[in-house]
Structure 1
Amino acid sequence: MTRRGFVLVLDIGTTGARAMLFDAAGQVGGFAYEEYQSLHRAPNVIDHDPVTWLDAVARTVPAALAAARVDGEDVAAVVVTSQRATVMPVDAAGQPLAPAVLWQDKRTRPQCERLAAVIGEEEVYRRTGLRIDPYFSLPKLMWFAEAHPDVYRAAYRFVTVHDLVVHHLTGVFATEYTQASRTMLLDVARLAWDEDLARAAGLPGVPLPEDVRPTGSVAGALTEAAAAQLGLRPGTPVVMAGGDQQCAAVGLGVVAPGLVKVTTGTGSFVVAPVAQPVFDPARRVLLSASALPGQWILEAGIFTTGAVLRWFRDQLGHAEVEAAQAAGADAYDLLTAEAAEAEPGAGGLVWLPHFAGSAAPHWDPEARGVVYGLTLAHTRKDLARAVLEGIAMEIGMNLAVMRTLVGGRLAEVRVSGGMVRSELFNQIQADVYGCAVVPGRLEQATALGAAALAWTAVGVYPDAAEAARRMGGLDEPRRRQPDAGRHAFYRDRMRLHAAVYRALAAYAR
């Protein structure tokens, strides 16, 4: 391998951080991962210590270099991607002044209600492409200003996770379009901060980094201090790849209108590129910046999908966990094998996976998880299958909305994330969606997409779309086609799924 034959991706997720080395052909040279824990202070309050993200970077980068048997001279660029909408205050040196408020946090419902009353749902959506929801950064910033005014005043800037890491590496306060578009303070059509919206929300201005650049830009050069800590070369370019879901779309080759990607990990995210801003009159799906110039994305997020399967494993799958430990296997594989023994429809069960409220297309923070239709005849196999079907139903509803907005037919859905290891889940997805489902060749599509942006930034590829074509690829042997009979069956089941949600939502109110 020639010198500087890799880019180093830092992917800072919700539950863990990874460092990955990619060559220009998209091959992984080395990998390291570290988990961390958020602080669940109350059912609706989730903080995170920002130091854990920086510590994870400090440990995973040397480990990834060692795994690849290379050193800092082999790294052409460092590129950062992360979760979105999480924010925290920092001082002028980039030191955190308080715990970060995580994107999953729901404490800001009062601020959201005030935004709806003062500015209005439709106006916020028209400007930002986003729903008024605790998910996004603006209500969190309002909460800081009201609950901790001393911290708010002392803050030099508020930053996202991506921006924190970029500053740690370069000393530069900057952000890029994809992260900014999830703050609820970016004019999504102009791709510029909306100062009027910030003032209408009661803030003196936009407290985020003033410097907003195109995704894939070089933020700056790696500092001497960061280089010494990580074992890298001072002056190495640091590239801003931005939001994890936009990067995943690039990694799966979803780089043009007509393609769709679904990533299912802790939650599920559906992304469809569009050539101009497209707004949903019913505000069911969102509009955000794309990682590619001249594009935007329609996006739908579902908060808890893979997290619900994990809950099922931890609370109801003790036998599978013990059997997996004894056999050196994966408990998820045993659970999905049991689910495969149940008939489609799970014996009539309906599983609503809203264990932390619902996002698209319902947008109800008070929604709760439900298992409907239980009888004494049901088994754990039925319950396990109902989890998988319930997740696919929620994704399918969002795909249907996107089909309506773009007026097109879906030829295939490209999928990534931990849950697509299950061939049963992939087949259920194909049968529910009514189109082919194909995984990417690499499970870590977010990191691959970030690497494509980095190789473009240093001039190896003319644009990120070409980089994605050259570096990516689909796992064609795992392509799953829909069964026409099961698709018709699941269409009927989806109507029942939606009816159960509507009935319980009306009762809750």
Structure 2
Amino acid sequence: MDKKIIAYDLGTSGNKASLYDKDGVCLASTFKSYDTLYPGIGMHEQRPSDWWNSIVASTRQLLEETGVGKNEIECLAISGHSLGVVPINNAGELLRESTPIWSDSRAGAQAEAFFQKTDEKSWYMITGNGFPAQLYSAFKILWYQDNEPDVFEKIDKVIGTKDYINYKLTGQVKTDYSYASGCGVYDLKGWGYSDELLQASGLDPDIFPEIVPSTEIIGELTAEASESIGLPRNVKVAAGGVDNSCMALGARNIESGRVYLSLGSSAWIAVSADEPVLDARSRPFVFTHVIPGMFTSAVSIFSGGNSFRWLRDNFFPDLIEVSAQSGQDVYELMTEMAANSPIGANKLLFNPSLAGGSSQEPNAEIRGAFSGLDLGHTRDDLLRAGMEGIAMNLGAVLQVLKSFITLSDEMVIVGGGSKSELWRQIFADVFEMKIIKTNIGEDAGSLGAAALAAVGSGLWNDFSKMDQIHKVESTLEPIPENTAIYRKLDPVYEVLRQAQGQIGSSLANLDI
């Protein structure tokens, strides 16, 4: 009987459960969505019970649809969305029906108060927490303290998304280094919670869970969990990791200098290395890698595929209808049109910052724009400019990483945007790097979690199998003539970025 692995990718929109064989080949997967709640301004919450129900339902469906016997499952692990703050009491009971997720920004006042007594740049250099500070866990816990004292007084531990599921599975309250590194009081280079930052926060260190390696088997299934999800009690549960680091592992970032691009709704470029990439000005966001002794440092834009989707919905409803009638993917239709426009889109530029700016962009208030529009431009040009603008914006933030660390000359691309050959060529030309598409596609996070379970349970000795699992489907190299055009456009594009930042700030301050 071949041993198998279940990996869960517990994401913002839902949970994907995937079944892997012992060699890391994905045999099947299933997805269960859940809701995000918006109870107030800046408040984004999900129900931990929904996460658990999605785990239960997806596991049972996976076994039923594949016909795999439950006794074939050797181990499992979870990749979980970051910065979760699930409060439980000393009996392990939830203290809130719904809890803030990574994008919840309610803790602005708590972050501001913290930085009145702690230097903000020093905090960043200790933690590598490059997102807006109010998103990080410690400040949300302080929000509990200030706004829900009755809840706060009952808290025994505050744990992350995947750590809550691990608790439901095993009864063990633990986290791993990758998830802990997003808590807001973690010392990256010290490999543990920072006494200095804990003292500044006023939080009891015991409110945070014990940290263990991502591959550590934290336990086997409890009787209750076994009955709920339909797996035997001897299934081993690895600690798992935060989604960013699991995706890095799944994108074969297993050696220093390897880099990948995730092109989904948002987009980021991450490099894995033996040292974190830290810069108090440009603020790369850093997580401890799930691979011992390594870090994954990233730069991002908040709207990648989302901006392309916005173009689809607002300018190309006819293509949506054609897609519905023909069965051809709407994005393939859009790409075909974009290919009719020359490199540079007839001097039409697009800034894709429709969701505001990351720390590597001029400011948070930046907003998107087409620039250079004239009466001669066509819909083909709009699409080409959209694809090029997303690539050029990522190329601008990529320079942050390139200025601090030597990168590999090739970049693996994962996520939905990886399907477009035209877009991959644009990235190759803009980045001046080889762009590699493999068979993994949108499954990098799941594969990373499966690898953690495999190593933790002893099915694998190490992570070297990742290179064998990835089968290269396409390698596109930069075309010098194309790259030369983008280098001419770079300074003009930078003028657009800076101008949009200024315009965005001005608009944000208007009282209208």
TM-score normalised to structure 2 length: 0.92
What corresponds to 2:281 in structure 1? Answer: 282
Instruction: Say if 1:47 and 1:99, in contact at 8 Å, map to a contact too.
Output: yes
CA distance in 2, matches of 1:117, 1:491: 43
What corresponds to 1:492 in structure 2? Answer: 488
1:112-133: CA deviations, max 9, x gaps?
3333333122111121112353
Q: How many residues align?
A: 502
CA distance in 2, matches of 1:67, 1:96: 36
Are residues 499 and 148 of structure 1, via their aligned partners in 2, closer, same or farther at CA, if it must alter by over 3 Å?
farther
Taking every aligned residue pair, what percent have the same amino acid on both sides? 27
What corresponds to 1:504 in structure 2? Answer: 500
Unaligned runs of 5+ in 2: 507-512
State which drifts further: 420-429 or 275-284. 275-284
1:416-473: CA deviations, max 9, x gaps?
0111111121111111100100023111111112212211111122212x23234x21
Q: Which residues of 2 match residues 249-260 of structure 1 at below 5 A?
A: 249-260=248-259
Are residues 140 and 384 of structure 1, via their aligned partners in 2, closer, same or farther at CA, if it must alter by over 3 Å?
farther
Instruction: Say if 1:94 and 1:168, in contact at 8 Å, map to a contact too.
Output: no
CA distance in 1, matches of 2:362, 2:92: 38
CA RMSD across the alignment: 2.1
State which drifts further: 37-46 or 7-16. 37-46
Q: Which residues of 2 match residues 45-444 of structure 1 at below 5 A?
A: 45-91=43-89, 92-95=91-94, 97-131=96-130, 132-205=132-205, 207-209=207-209, 211-362=210-361, 364-406=363-405, 408=406, 410-443=408-441, 444=443
Are residues 409 and 187 of structure 1, via their aligned partners in 2, closer, same or farther at CA, if it must alter by over 3 Å?
closer
1:2-51: CA deviations, max 9, x gaps?
24x21000110111211001112221122111222312445633222222
Unaligned runs of 5+ in 1: none
Are residues 383 and 40 of structure 1, via their aligned partners in 2, closer, same or farther at CA, if it must alter by over 3 Å?
farther
Are residues 322 and 96 of structure 1, via their aligned partners in 2, closer, same or farther at CA, if it must alter by over 3 Å?
farther
State which drifts further: 30-39 or 56-65. 30-39
Are residues 325 and 306 of structure 1, via their aligned partners in 2, closer, same or farther at CA, if it must alter by over 3 Å?
same
Q: Write the letter of the residue equivalent to 1:308.
A: S
Are residues 365 and 205 of structure 1, via their aligned partners in 2, closer, same or farther at CA, if it must alter by over 3 Å?
farther
Instruction: Say if 1:125 and 1:283, in contact at 8 Å, map to a contact too.
Output: no
Instruction: Say if 1:82 and 1:161, in contact at 8 Å, map to a contact too.
Output: yes
Deviation at 1:315, TM superposition (A): 3.1
Instruction: Say if 1:89 and 1:155, in contact at 8 Å, map to a contact too.
Output: yes
What corresponds to 2:465 in structure 1? Answer: 467
1:172-218: CA deviations, max 9, x gaps?
11100111111222111111112431331343446331x10112111
Are residues 239 and 426 of structure 1, via their aligned partners in 2, closer, same or farther at CA, if it must alter by over 3 Å?
same
Deviation at 1:357, TM superposition (A): 2.4
CA distance in 2, matches of 1:129, 1:88: 22
CA distance in 2, matches of 1:198, 1:370: 42
CA distance in 2, matches of 1:147, 1:336: 49
3-state SS of paired residue (1:134): helix
Q: Write the letter of the residue equivalent to 1:149.
A: P
CA distance in 2, matches of 1:180, 1:365: 26
Deviation at 1:263, TM superposition (A): 1.1
3-state SS of paired residue (1:415): strand
Are residues 330 and 455 of structure 1, via their aligned partners in 2, closer, same or farther at CA, if it must alter by over 3 Å?
same
CA distance in 1, matches of 2:111, 2:392: 28
Are residues 248 and 409 of structure 1, via their aligned partners in 2, closer, same or farther at CA, if it must alter by over 3 Å?
closer
3-state SS of paired residue (2:375): coil
Instruction: Say if 1:221 and 1:237, in contact at 8 Å, map to a contact too.
Output: yes
CA distance in 1, matches of 2:488, 2:462: 43
3-state SS of paired residue (2:268): strand
Q: Write the letter of the residue equivalent to 1:280.
A: D
Q: Write the letter of the residue equivalent to 2:497.
A: Y
CA distance in 2, matches of 1:433, 1:206: 45
CA distance in 2, matches of 1:349, 1:441: 34
CA distance in 1, matches of 2:34, 2:376: 41
3-state SS of paired residue (2:23): coil
Instruction: Say if 2:277 and 2:284, in contact at 8 Å, map to a contact too.
Output: no
Does 2:479 match 1:480? no
CA distance in 2, matches of 1:360, 1:97: 31
Q: Write the letter of the residue equivalent to 2:493.
A: H
1:219-248: CA deviations, max 9, x gaps?
211111111111111121111220122122
What corresponds to 2:509 in structure 1? Answer: none
CA distance in 1, matches of 2:339, 2:129: 38
Are residues 363 and 504 of structure 1, via their aligned partners in 2, closer, same or farther at CA, if it must alter by over 3 Å?
closer
Q: Write the letter of the residue equivalent to 2:444.
A: A
